[in-house]
Chain A
Amino acid sequence: MSLTEINVTINGKAYAEWVEPRMLLSDFIRETCGLTGTHVGCEHGVCGACTISMDGAAVRSCLIFAVQADNREIKTVEGLACNGEMTALQKNFVECHGLQCGFCTAGILMSITDFLEKNPQPSTKEIKETLSGHLCRCTGYDGIVKAVQKTVQDNQKEVLQRS
């Protein structure tokens, strides 16, 4: 078994590990690094549960090999909160009932965080289009859409207050 050394930064922390080339990034994050906030659902890129941020872009970690993350910067759901304080999006998921069992939540948070950075004032249609990359079997998506909409409104208010 040939192993390759990789250096990856996850949530600001540097990891240097030896991995088999076939190890999926999702398994590396969960099993090697012990960051079990990232969930693994379908393992073929359909369900979106394993979505993480790599170099600032939301991607499926089950469709990337750990060796490909060498020298890359990764953020997982554990890296969203700052000093124990949840982001506005996370708080709104709680407030708007954006989750029930929570299995899909980590992936959705990572996608929407990336999405709102690139598109701070999305339409409901655009929000739903982005959520189409995630399967949620509990909520019916309604609470999730509301949580995202409320975050957009909160962010706008904050911008207005600052100006």
Chain B
Amino acid sequence: MKQSADQVLGTIAGTWIVARREIRDQLRDWRILTPIIILTLFFPLLMNFTAQQAVDFVTRYGAPIIGDRLIPFLLLIVGFFPISISMVIALESFAGERERLSLEPLLATPLTDSQLYLGKMVASLVPPLGAAYLGISVYLVGLMLRIDWRPPPQLLLQVLMLTTIQAIVMVSGAVVISSLTTSVRAANLLASFIIIPVAQLIIGESVIMFWARYEILWWIVVALSLIALVFVRMGLRLFNREELLGKEIDVIDLRLAWQRFWRAFRNGAMTPIEWYKDVLTSSLPSARWAILITTCMLAAGYVIGLQLAETFTLPIDLVSLDAIGEALKNPELSFGSLPGFDWRWVLYNNVRALALATLLGAFSLGVLAEILLMVPIGIIGYFAGNVALAGGETLHFLAALVLPHGVLEVPAMIIAGAAILRLGLAALSVPKGESLGQSWLKSLAEWARIGVGVVLPLLICAAAVEVFITPRIAVWLLTG
């Protein structure tokens, strides 16, 4: 207990040593000081003036509500502009030191990785956040004096928390980028991955504030806090002295990447049978937690679908089992006779959906892939719910239309979802001593092993069953 407390205190002390030097250095740099001063003092006064003019204008035309909504929004903007500088400072943190060749002496000291990373983060946060709070204060004092406006305490707290957490998200992301790039130029280019989502977030927040749905801002605070935690963890995980120092140029070595991928894909197997056994005994068991999570997510999708059926109920004549049975009797509508509905078409659609899920999941920590995979299950739940509301047996419906191929397709989706989840989370679990690229290629190889070895065979079988067997079972069960 005492040891871990000492460790925490030691980390804080080292972090502060790094941060203090950087903060002092920033406060000596007129290129940083000038915009901070302008944004802290001049900009809030300008916003004061704008707010007053806007309020006067809209009041004249009998629309004071616009002014009421504008003032809190400007409060957010006044805080946001100074913190945007924090990202510039953070992007420069490691890449800039690298360019100035001052990084190696720092890396040779007994500072831990956490102390270095967090020190840089704190240093990037403190001056801009200080400026943001000061700017907000100047803006508020101006409003009190000019139009006697006082913010509701909850709104003020929300704005302060949003400002702080947005700064943390931007800085933690920017420090990750800075520690992974070899130059400030490259870091600035990659910063668009942060700037664009944050800009969209601000637009969203402005809509929410004009809409006066302030309670939603709390959810944004919670979501941003989680993202900040993920970024900080990712930064600590990816922080690698060797990469920082050893990486001289950012080039794509496709040949080396392919070699690494192929080595991980084969995993030492000499024959296809050996490889297949390895996939089943090594890759699949190692994905068990991800399989469990994906199963829970898909189950949640099904439940959501069921609940939606109660809200958006379909007409009984469309979803009763009798109506479905009647429809199946019509040869024009039977699945097998639909143009292009053969097993290859079904397989192609399923593979395409999983490819899209992989693309989305790879850049969203797996989250978007899970959501995408929940959709078809949710639709099944929705129809099952409607069947139940129409007086039919849910199990009967599922057994007729879903389960014959679903027993293969749903496990394939779950396993694929698990592999995508692991691929998306690869950036958060980079083994020490490995670069992000190496770790990601390994995860990609794992994803491909599971995809080729397990998911694809299941999908092929499911497609065949869906085309050749499911319609017959459906006709048999639903038409008597």
Decide if A and B are genuine partners.
no
Interface residues of A (CB under 8 A from B): none
The chain B residues found within 8 Å of chain A, CB to CB, are none
